[in-house]
Structure 1
Amino acid sequence: MTLARHFASPAEALGYALTLHQNGRHADCGAVCRAILAVRPDHHGASFLLGVAAFALGRVEDSHRRFAVTIALKPELADACFNMALLLRRRARLSEAAALQARALRLASSPAPGQIDAGQVTTLGAMLRELGRTAAARAVLRRAVAQAPDDAEAWRESGHALRDGGDLGAAAAAYGRAYRLAPGRTESLGDRLFAALSQCDWSDYDDLCRQVLAVIDSGRGVALPLLTLMIDTSVAQQDRAARHFHRAVVQPAALLQAAAAVPAAHPPGADGRLTVAYLSADFHEHATAYLAAELFELHDRDRFRVVACSYGPDDGSPTRRRLEAAFDAFRDIRGADPDEVRAMLAAEGVHILVDLKGYTRHVRFDLLARRLAPVQVAYLGYPGTMGGDAMDYVIGDRFVTPPDHQPLYREQLVIMPDSYQANDRRRPLDAPVPDRAACGLPSDGFVFCAFNAPFKITPSMFGVWMSVLARVPGSVLWLQQAGREGAGNLRREAARRGVDPGRLIFAPHKPQAEHLARYRLADLFLDSFPYTGHTTVSDALWMGVPVVTRMGETFASRVAASLLNAASLPETVTTTADEYEALAVRLAGDPATLAGFRRRLAAARATAPLFDSPRFTRHLEHAYRTMWDRHAAGLLPESFTVPPL
């Protein structure tokens, strides 16, 4: 296109280009903008609109470059800064994005401070929260809701910031406001329920659960997959929720990235080794790291090369240093976009990518949405289906993922022998045991402990625990600290059920070694339901504390049953609430049986499959090799069972 032949001036041409863009003719808009720039390379308006058109056409790299040029041409153009910040955020370059967003807001407020778009303020608050700058995020989001009190997204982001700061009551209220303003955004409904569960506030529990289940069953909105594990849902409902979440939330994240070809099926190197990369934000002091550290160390280096892809914080802890040493290569991918991650994995020669996060906190949807390696596997972090096609396999066992559940998973099931869960034999065992008084426990009396996260406590499960306390005189229930409001809520619930609130003891957070040592003071661990314990149950068994659990239908409700069977203590697995209560009461009155279980668990540290880390690693390596052999042969992923050694 020759500009002079069609338009009197660049300004007229730009007006025409804008009309084309508004009519959805983005390619034609881009052509006009390029014609303007051919005549006036410094025309910031044409440069900016070309970036907008490129984004609308899915050409994210072109859009990014064009906004960068625009900002260089006219640094005070707020809209260019806003758009560039958006791209940087979605490419996980949060620090740069937040700085540019703040600059854009300053520029936009210069002539007319009252006219700033509240949505842009909300976006800055969200970026600050994602960076962990909670106090700053809360301050910015207070401004957003004050400026636009009817903006549902501002209230939802405010809820996130309040939650991250530990103000769960205010967070629940903010989520409730967001849902009332925009009932179609059903994520806010789930956020409200999760905030309430996290502080053990069950005042609206039944109603909120009914609403979430209605969302799942009707398909009229998004239900947060992690939340579906915490309430009474079926495997089919969890699958339905995950599939809808993947379509509505995860897949759009892929659309914001430049398209890339499926990674090539490059063969193993001359030494025949497979390269396996583990992807996580939890390579620091975290439950996932506590379980899997020895697995990474034990991989057979003659047959496997292992790479860490870490997008979480470096907390400088001994756990972090141990993990860095455990891998052949440790890549910090904070700030790397999916294309950069994919290029890094290709350069490392990765054959299999193992995601350790799933739909848990700090997950990067932009990475989950993409095919980054030839074979992709979901493992350990999330007990359920991801509901999408990016993951080829999910690692389970005959308890958590029985073969007849395959129709309810998009991934192919890999059935491990023993248990699906890795364990670390190097976890601290011999730290000094505190006395009861130091832990707030009475000098005598039976100690039930329930160290699962407060959000896993449901009203019905708590009712069972209170019935157990009522039937075991002098006993106490030792719980994980439930925050500023949670402890008060639980004490009130105990009193409402006729139990002295003083019989609830709360354990503050401690470093891992000190925390594990406390288990020595517990007589019996009471598991939660339907989201059973994972690391907490393994910790209890490692420290010799028997665990009473209830096994349900879903992955999350069967984990403890898997662990107890692999620890050679299947007798403490029940299937109903009545069985659970009866067993807990019986064991509290049967010290001989309880002592026998303790002796069995002490022996299990050296003999049981749950703690045989080398055996587990060889099984997992067999699974990886089977996956790769199918892929290399051009076969589609298929469910299989790993034969026991």
Structure 2
Amino acid sequence: MTLNEAFGLAFSHYRAGRTGDAVAVCRAILAAIPEQPDTLHLLGLALLAAGDVAAAADRLERALAVRPDFAEALGNLGILRQDHGRPAAALVLHGRALALRDWSGGRINRGNARRALGDHEGAEADYARAMALGPDEPMPANSLGTLLREKGQVGRAVALHRRAAVLAPGMADAWRDLGHALREGGLLTAAAAAYGRSYRLDPARTEMMSYRLFSLQAVCDWTGYDALCRETAAIIDGDRGVALPLGTLSIELTAEQQLRSARLFSERLVRAAHAPPYHPPPAGPRGRLRIGYFSADFHEHATAYLAAELFELHDRDRFEILAFSFGPDDGSPMRRRLVQAFDRFHDIRNAGVDRVAALVAEEGVDILVDLKGYTKQSRLDLLSRRLAPVQATYLGYPGTTGCEVLDYVVGDRFVTPPEHQAHFTERLVVMPDSYQINDRRRPLDGRVPTRAECGLPEDAVVFCAFNTTYKITPSMFGIWMRLLARLPGSVLWLFEANPEAAGNLRREAAARGIDPARLVFAPKRPLPDHLARYRIADLGLDSFPYTGHTTTSDALWVGMPVVTLMGGTFASRVAAGLLSAAGVPELITTSPTAYEELALRLALDPAARNALRRRLEETRLTVPLFDSRRFTRHLERAYGTMWAIHTSGAPPRGFLVPPLPPGAAP
């Protein structure tokens, strides 16, 4: 057999996925011709496919030692370095390859390295050049579309992903990325269709089905809803693939199923499996603990509305408070307030992973607190490299992340009772009152509209359900419609998240025998005006199993009572904890029947509703839920305990934060 024939045989084995056979033939060739560069290169690729990264890198480097101008080997070694957490090294290799030959694949490779290093302008230039070099290739358009979506240029991103899908209709990733861009642009039904197409093309990517379900939930399109929920549960229970963790919170799954979903999602799609862990240097002696908060929500956002005062109230004699922001700067008053609230505010939107790790180390962060979890713009991939000695998750995501490098989750006796530890990879930190911080500077001075201005009846009961649309389930909506049927003239006031959802909910109401006109939709308004609207509603109806968070505390702050149903998961217990901390635990129910009957009883009893409203208004500044200073002291106690456990050399362990005596929170 000639060299060409043997090499052809090895290559055919490699292309067919027979990596063991490819390795064997390559080694036989090299036994006869030890430094044959093409064979060394192919052997490196085969070893990489077999999972032997070190040996693969060695063979690629040997191929380059023999033939330094081997552009393909430079490119493939660059991809290996990129995939294994060394984008700076990859950038050098891709640059050398492109100096030898300018081709679209090489431009995409270098663009990917530049993007990982935070050089978005350079990446955009490389992707654009790749499109010019390969106008009929889908990857350049898809890569550029993904970058532009991350930069907020959603319209251009949609066009580019559509182009990629037209060029390669069978490319599942193009349809996935088109779905992401459409969802970002608010075209949710179209996004669901794109995700469905991606899933059909590659059924192994089960997370695409989750994205499709989540998009349909956001527009309240419940066609095939039960079947999609059953399939999600079957995927989790049978270990058949990945489910979107955020999506599991809004369908009726158990805490154990949510844990399995989050753990697998973390292992396969979040954790930089090939990236070397970052080991922060030991913290030197200092007088103050350094707390770093990671979030994309340091702007006009629900999380900021809750937490702004926390950052301001931290005891600066004992703590340094740092922000690491990877979200937009909207130039808003809230953004300016937050920048002032921190000792140092770092905008890391365009920083690569290595730069973020170095920055956290330079700052000497002791405890890193993620405020996002699996919500929009999550960056748990950063924390997966262990950037700080202690890492915790708090506030943004009501469930376990499944990430082993997150040591703690901050909860309370409702959302994370100690007996729920088995459902979390993180250790439970149980706060004494409520896990949710609240900003006492929430505005109360918005102009209260008339019911007529809001399209509401003057002399009928107004049920209010302002939770976002993906939290509305068919079963809970059915209860709401039964309440309208049992109370003639009453209306349901909903938040108008998107026009598609409004149309679908009106159709669902009609299908249940309710006049669609009895559903009234509230458009988005500035926070003071939005909060003022709660004053003209009679009773809040909570969603389930993903209960109200900021929405519920907003209502309670203004004085509107909310009926909730408490379940067995973190997300299904949040509103119950808030109601307890607000001093109205009688509004918590534990079954759908009890929920419906309590809502009806209060709807028929104006005196009881008014008494609840008066109690909420009169105790607003004294109940634990809105005692921001007391909460901050409790959280600081939690941080102190985390750090004491760490410095003792013991592994993280769950603990209860001891409550301060009433009035003892300076």
Q: State the TM-score bracket (shorter-chain normalisation).
A: over 0.9
**Map of 2:503 onto structure 1:** 488
Q: Identify the range of structure 1 (339-348 vs 569-578) with the bigger mean alpha-carbon deviation.
A: 339-348
2: CA distance, partners of 1:503 / 1:475: 7
CA drift of 1:50 comes to 4.7
**Map of 1:609 onto structure 2:** 624
Report SS of the residue matched to 2:617.
Answer: helix
CA drift of 1:28 comes to 2.4
2: CA distance, partners of 1:89 / 1:480: 37
Report SS of the residue matched to 2:291.
Answer: strand
Question: Which of 90, 113, 135 in structure 2 is aligned with 1:87?
Answer: 113
1: CA distance, partners of 2:157 / 2:445: 42
Report SS of the residue matched to 2:242.
Answer: coil
2: CA distance, partners of 1:335 / 1:397: 35
Q: Cα distance 1:57–1:476, how it changes in 2: closer, same or farther (>3 A)?
A: closer
Q: Cα distance 1:577–1:241, how it changes in 2: closer, same or farther (>3 A)?
A: same
2:217 counterpart of 1:197: yes
**Map of 1:31 onto structure 2:** 62
Alignment-mate amino acid for residue 61 of structure 2: G
Q: Identify the range of structure 1 (369-378 vs 50-59) with the bigger mean alpha-carbon deviation.
A: 50-59
Alignment-mate amino acid for residue 93 of structure 2: R
**Map of 1:588 onto structure 2:** 603
1: CA distance, partners of 2:647 / 2:554: 39
Report if the CA contact (8 A) 2:278-2:385 is conserved: no
Q: Cα distance 1:49–1:640, how it changes in 2: closer, same or farther (>3 A)?
A: closer
Q: Cα distance 1:463–1:52, how it changes in 2: closer, same or farther (>3 A)?
A: closer
2: CA distance, partners of 1:261 / 1:148: 38
**Map of 1:97 onto structure 2:** 123
**Map of 1:77 onto structure 2:** 103
Report SS of the residue matched to 2:619.
Answer: helix
Question: Which of 143, 159, 163 in structure 2 is aligned with 1:123?
Answer: 143
2: CA distance, partners of 1:559 / 1:49: 49
2: CA distance, partners of 1:547 / 1:95: 48
Report SS of the residue matched to 2:115.
Answer: helix
2:42 counterpart of 1:19: yes
Question: Which of 62, 68, 71 in structure 1 is aligned with 2:89?
Answer: 62
**Map of 1:266 onto structure 2:** 283
Alignment-mate amino acid for residue 263 of structure 1: P
**Map of 1:477 onto structure 2:** 492
2:579 counterpart of 1:556: no
CA drift of 1:61 comes to 3.0
Q: Cα distance 1:75–1:315, how it changes in 2: closer, same or farther (>3 A)?
A: farther
Alignment-mate amino acid for residue 352 of structure 2: D
**Map of 2:165 onto structure 1:** 145
Query: Percent identity among equivalent residues?
Result: 57
TM-superposition CA deviations, 1:494-542 (whole Å, max 9, x none): 1111111101010111111111111111111110000000000000000
Q: Cα distance 1:334–1:394, how it changes in 2: closer, same or farther (>3 A)?
A: same
**Map of 1:3 onto structure 2:** none
Q: Identify the range of structure 1 (573-582 vs 473-482) with the bigger mean alpha-carbon deviation.
A: 473-482
1: CA distance, partners of 2:590 / 2:125: 53
Report if the CA contact (8 A) 1:548-1:584 is conserved: yes
**Map of 1:531 onto structure 2:** 546
Q: Cα distance 1:432–1:192, how it changes in 2: closer, same or farther (>3 A)?
A: same
Report SS of the residue matched to 1:606.
Answer: coil
**Structure 2: where are the runs of 5+ without partners?**
1-29, 48-55, 661-666
**Map of 2:8 onto structure 1:** none
**Structure 2 counterparts to residues 388-403 of structure 1, below 5 A:** 388-403=403-418
2:488 counterpart of 1:511: no
Alignment-mate amino acid for residue 248 of structure 1: R
Q: Cα distance 1:128–1:611, how it changes in 2: closer, same or farther (>3 A)?
A: same
**Map of 1:249 onto structure 2:** 269
1: CA distance, partners of 2:531 / 2:116: 39
Q: Cα distance 1:96–1:230, how it changes in 2: closer, same or farther (>3 A)?
A: farther
2:139 counterpart of 1:108: no
Aligned length: 619
2:594 counterpart of 1:579: yes
Question: Which of 322, 330, 346 in structure 1 is aligned with 2:361?
Answer: 346
2: CA distance, partners of 1:450 / 1:625: 39
Q: Cα distance 1:150–1:373, how it changes in 2: closer, same or farther (>3 A)?
A: same
Report SS of the residue matched to 1:620.
Answer: helix
Question: Which of 228, 240, 254 in structure 1 is aligned with 2:248?
Answer: 228
**Map of 2:652 onto structure 1:** 637
Q: Identify the range of structure 1 (600-609 vs 49-58) with the bigger mean alpha-carbon deviation.
A: 49-58
Q: Cα distance 1:51–1:149, how it changes in 2: closer, same or farther (>3 A)?
A: closer
Alignment-mate amino acid for residue 302 of structure 1: D
**Map of 2:152 onto structure 1:** 132
Q: TM-score, length-normalised on structure 2?
A: 0.90
2: CA distance, partners of 1:17 / 1:57: 20
Q: Identify the range of structure 1 (360-369 vs 457-466) with the bigger mean alpha-carbon deviation.
A: 360-369
**Structure 2 counterparts to residues 396-475 of structure 1, below 5 A:** 396-475=411-490
Question: Which of 371, 385, 388 in structure 2 is aligned with 1:370?
Answer: 385
TM-superposition CA deviations, 1:184-243 (whole Å, max 9, x none): 111111011011100000111001101111111001110000000000010100001111
CA drift of 1:484 comes to 2.2
CA drift of 1:56 comes to 6.7
2:260 counterpart of 1:240: yes
Q: Cα distance 1:307–1:125, how it changes in 2: closer, same or farther (>3 A)?
A: same
Report if the CA contact (8 A) 1:36-1:46 is conserved: no
1: CA distance, partners of 2:185 / 2:311: 33
2: CA distance, partners of 1:531 / 1:57: 37
Q: Cα distance 1:280–1:436, how it changes in 2: closer, same or farther (>3 A)?
A: same
2:51 counterpart of 1:51: no
**Structure 2 counterparts to residues 158-197 of structure 1, below 5 A:** 158-197=178-217
2: CA distance, partners of 1:97 / 1:619: 45
**Map of 1:207 onto structure 2:** 227
CA drift of 1:572 comes to 0.4
2: CA distance, partners of 1:243 / 1:626: 26
Q: TM-score, length-normalised on structure 1?
A: 0.93
Report if the CA contact (8 A) 1:481-1:508 is conserved: yes
CA drift of 1:133 comes to 1.1
Alignment-mate amino acid for residue 58 of structure 2: A
CA drift of 1:150 comes to 1.9
1: CA distance, partners of 2:259 / 2:538: 37
**Structure 1: where are the runs of 5+ without partners?**
1-6
Report if the CA contact (8 A) 2:198-2:208 is conserved: yes
Q: Identify the range of structure 1 (191-200 vs 473-482) with the bigger mean alpha-carbon deviation.
A: 473-482
TM-superposition CA deviations, 1:136-183 (whole Å, max 9, x none): 111111111211222222112111122122221111112112212211
Alignment-mate amino acid for residue 630 of structure 2: R
Q: Identify the range of structure 1 (132-141 vs 293-302) with the bigger mean alpha-carbon deviation.
A: 132-141
Q: Cα distance 1:23–1:582, how it changes in 2: closer, same or farther (>3 A)?
A: closer
Report if the CA contact (8 A) 1:450-1:479 is conserved: yes
CA RMSD of aligned residues (A): 1.9
2: CA distance, partners of 1:639 / 1:53: 39
2: CA distance, partners of 1:202 / 1:57: 41
2: CA distance, partners of 1:63 / 1:99: 17
Report if the CA contact (8 A) 2:41-2:73 is conserved: no
